[in-house]
Each structure stands twice: as C-alpha cells, then as structure tokens.
A and B are shown apart, each in its own frame.
Chain A
Amino acid sequence: MEKDETIEIRWHGRGGQGAVTSAELLALAAINEGKFAQAFPSFGPERRGAPVLAFNRISNVGHIRVRAAVTNPDVVVVLDPGLIYITDVTSGLKQDGIVVVNTPKSLADIKSELSGPWKLAVVNATVIAREALGIPIVNTAMLGALLKATEILGLESLVEPIKERFGPRAKNNIDACHRAYEETLMAELSVVGQGPRKAFETERLLSWQELLPGCVVIEAGNAKQYRTGDWKSQHPVWDQQRCIKCGICSLFCPEGCIGQNKEGDFEANMYYCKGCGICARECWTEAITMVEET
C-alpha cells in the first residue's frame, strides 16, 4: 500500500459463504498493522445462497469517515465461480483495478470471458478449501488470493485474526489462506472483448412509478416471475435408470420446483432451484447427484 492511500474493496459472495467474515478478518488484520479499516455487509433480505456483498475500506491516512457502500472499488473479490455470469462484478471498478476470482477455469478461459482496463487474479479456492477444511467455504483461501494480488497487507497479519475467529479450526484455515496465496495467478485483461456469458437475462426492477398506490399486488403468486435459480452453487442431476419415480424428491423440495416432464421423468426447474441438495440426500435410490455450477 502507498503511504497515503485508502483502498476500497467489494466482496461478492453468496449468503452463507462467509464474505462478511472475510471482510471482518481483513479489517482486523489491517488494524493490527496500525492501519485504519472498515468492514461491513450490504444489508438486505438476501438469504443463504443469494448473491450478497460485503465491503472494506483500508487506509493509512487516518480515520475513515465515509460509511456508504463501496460503489467504485479498487479491488473486487468474487467468492463464487458462478457469480460473474449473473451479476456485474466489475461494476464501478476503477481503472487499473483488480478482479480476484475463485474459479476452476484456467487463466486463459477467464481472460476470454472478462474484459476491461483491469488486472485479473485467479485461484481455484473451492478445491483448496475442500482439501484444507473438508468443506467448500472459501473465505479464508480468498483472503490469501487477495493479498497475493494486491499486497495491501502482510500475509502474517491475518494469522492472529484467523486464530481468534476459528479457534481449533484456525490451522486449517491458515493453511488454506497460505496455499491460495501460493497458487494465485495474475494477468492483465484485454481492454476490449466480450462480456461474460450471461446465464440468464438480468432482471429489470420496477421503478416506484410503476408500483400501484398503497403497494398493492394484484396478481396472486406472481413471485413465480422471480428467479431464485441463480442462488445455487450446485444443481441436481437425475439418473433416470436408478429413479423409481416415487416422487419423494418433489415432496421435500423447499422450492416446490421438482416435477415430472412429458416422459414421466422427474426433473428440477433450474429457474428456481437453489441447489440445497435435499432432493439428492433424501432420494431412496440415490438417483440424484449434486453437480457443482461452473
């Protein structure tokens, strides 16, 4: 970090993935280095699985007075590989800013999907987290990747906050962080190129003029228009040979999004499926497997 600089970071994750914890740990590490720091989530009704944001400001100038959400970040960190296809992760990113992405894809593949006047850093944090922690919670690994890409803090400054937060699980988290630091690859993005392939059309929000007076909703069940399918980080796949067509999956799906198609095969509607994995867990014959989104 330069001597008199304030760096703004925006974290893109899914509810439950630990974006807020990442931001908090980073701020604590910065404060331990004698810097000034903020960490806070974006507040909203978003729930486990839904795309969420968290923010950091880190400064070696002095107190940070701004309390607003970060809209023009110097760095964005993307915890979930699928998010670059469903949200505009580089929105407002400053010239020469850095995009740090967790992805199983190669540097070259991601370079062909993102473009702009930015630097790119990639790491397969999901694999690292699975191996180091046994679960795909990537927040500590992504802290390692962030520090490799930006060098805003020393890697060792994270050790204390991680110990404090994770207690007996600290060692594994520190390992994940170190490994991601080692494995992060960097590249310049090309300024022109196509944007990322969008998984779905982006939803258009209604303006206040379009709402009925009194906030009346006149169409029963119109939430059907609302897509929750982009909350998922994995999706169910049926082995129709094994499936005995009992329908227990459709009964237990919290989204009510499993039904039979014309051939009589059970399938999930990906427009709504949130990837909870209940159907796969409860299937009598283990005909359903959860496959990670890429």
Chain B
Amino acid sequence: MESLAIYAPRLVTTKEYLASGHRACSGCGEVLAVRLTCKALGRNVIIVNATGCMEIVSSQLPYTSWEVPWIHTLFENTAAVASGIEAGIKVLSRKGGYSQKTKVVAMAGDGGTMDIGLQALSGALERGHNFIYICYDNEAYMNTGIQRSSATPFGASTTTSPAGKISIGQTSWKKNMPAIAAAHDIPYVATACTSYPFDLMNKVKKAMKVEGPAYIHVLSVCPTGWRLPSDLTIKAGRLAVETGVFPLYEIEAGKYTLNFDFPQLRPVEDYLKLQGRFRHLSKEVVAQIQERVKAEYAKLKRKVIQGS
C-alpha cells in the first residue's frame, strides 16, 4: 500500500474534469486513470486524445464527458497534433495574443502509443516540444476487442494471440516503452498505476512543471480484456507493482528513482492467477515469467543504484 495518511483522499479536489455519464466498462481502470490524471492537471490544459477506448467512451455524440478543451486524433498523429498545438501556443504568445501557460497533454492507449503512434511520438520527443504524453497501457487493443499489441505481456491470451493446445498466447515480451522514451534524453519519464492514485497524481503534477517533453506510462487495468472480476481492478494493479511485474519509477534528467521498493517481491503467480487471460499457463511458463521479472527488476535496481 502507498504510505499515506488514511485521510489523504479527502485532500484531493472533488472537482471533476471528466464528467460522469461516460461509457467505459463497469470497473474500468483506464477511465479511472484518466479521471485522476485530469484532477491533477486542472483546468488549464488542452487534451489531445488518440482513438481508443477513452475517446469512444467519453465523446459519444451528442454528449461529451470533457470539461476541458479536447481534440480527438488518429492513432498515427497524436504526438504530431500535440506538437502543432504547442507550437501554435508559442507563436501566439510571442505575438502577444495569448498570455496563459496552457499545457498540452497527449493521451493514447498502448496500441496508439507503442505501435501505431510511435513514429510521431519519437519525433515530438526529439524536437523537444513542451508537452506531456501519457500512455494508458491496458496491454492490448481493447476498444476493438482485445487484440494483442507490443504491450501485451508474454503468455497472455488475446483474440489475436489466442492460447490453445499448442500456443501459450502472446509469445513476445512486453516492449519497454519507458526506456524508449528515456532514450530520447527527455527531462521526465515515469511509470504509474491507478492503484497508487497519489503517486500517479504527483507524477502528473511534476510533469506539468517540466519544461520540455514529459512521458508517463500508466498501467491501466482493463477488467474486460484481462478477464478479471470488475471489483478486482485496483487489487490487480497493486499486485502488478508488488510482484515487480510493473515497477513504479521515475527518470528525471536521466536519474532513476524507484518509488516503491520491495526487498521481497511477491511471486508473480499471485498476479497471474487472478486473471483469465493467464489461466492456461503451465507451471513452466509461470517460472519463465518469474525469471524474467526478477532479471528485469534487478536491471532496474542497478540503474537506480548507479543513478542513471
């Protein structure tokens, strides 16, 4: 559990910038992540939102859940549109037509970020636009019905990597997207998860203060795609962190910090057995995943100790 005073939730603003009446699945962790992010961002933002669950559930004609300026983009060009808006704000400010410090915030799913939108994202990070990019990673293309992406974990069954008599489901390891973002030498990279709401909101607030690109990768539990009872959304996210499957860390100007360190990681099985998408896994495959998680966690800790 996050070390927090028990009454800390009462300190969070009750103001919502993502209105109720959105059509996300019952128990959706991704919409919760967006809701909390928006609380941390506040009013003075322009949100650039790729196609995907979050766009669909929040903007069904004639309704919108958005209480802040919001634009829907394609998969390919989310970061490019954000770059354009940021550049536009700069020009307007220079010409004296605009005096506010409005933050441009791009949002996309893992498919939109790690597969289809990666080129535009890389360009925007490399050019150094002053914006935040948030990837809501639910580990597959969920809006269209659970197709595998490069974020889908090894061994997960999806509709395009189905488990069967021979197949174990996804046969590749999850792409390390925060490392790719960090390789652009940007000022701020962080991972977060809805099960740690204060950590998530603090990271968003930190990213707001950064001059230049900031990238936040939020593990967003999707009960529908992960085949999980809807009340276990928060618990599943917590287990992802406690097992070391999804460590929470920050990279500030190249320096690594682990936000929650566990001297003793929980066995990955605790996390896997909760979810229908891993139900078919044999002991051997679970052991293989355990090895990998240990090795990756050790790698991360070395970076933390070395400072970069």
Binding site for B on A (CB under 8 A): 15-16, 45-50, 206, 210-211, 215, 217, 219-228, 231-232, 244-248, 250-257, 259, 269, 271-272, 274-278, 280-282, 284, 290
Contacts and interface: CB of A to CB of B under 8 A. Distances in A.
B167 interface: no
Given A220-B66, A254-B35, A276 B21 contact: no
Nearest to A255: B20
A246 B6 CA distance: 6
Given A48-B27, A221-B65, 5 more contacts: A16-B224, A217-B63, A220-B66, A226-B21, A246-B7
A272 B197 CA distance: 21
B234 interface: yes
Interface stretch (B9-17, B128-136, B183-191): B9-17
Q: Chain B binding site: helix, strand, loop or mixed by DSSP?
A: loop
Nearest to B27: A276
Contacts of B235: 281
Contact of B23 (A50, A247, A259): A50
Nearest to A248: B9
Interface string B18-33: 1111111111110110
Given A254-B27, A276-B233, A223 B12 contact: no
Contact of B20 (A45, A217, A269, A275): A269
A254 B58 contact: no
6 contacts: A217-B62, A226-B63, A246-B10, A276-B233, A277-B229, A282-B234
Please tell me the size bucket of the interface on B. 35 or more
Contacts of A255: 20, 22
B56 interface: yes
A209 to B, nearest CB: 12
B20 A257 contact: yes
Given A47-B24, A221-B19, A281-B231, A259 B14 contact: yes
B14 A223 contact: no
A45 B31 CA distance: 15
Contacts of A275: 26
A70 B20 CA distance: 32
A48 B27 CA distance: 9
Nearest to A251: B9
A256 B25 contact: no
B239 to A, nearest CB: 13
B47 to A, nearest CB: 12
Contacts of A50: 23
A255 to B, nearest CB: 5
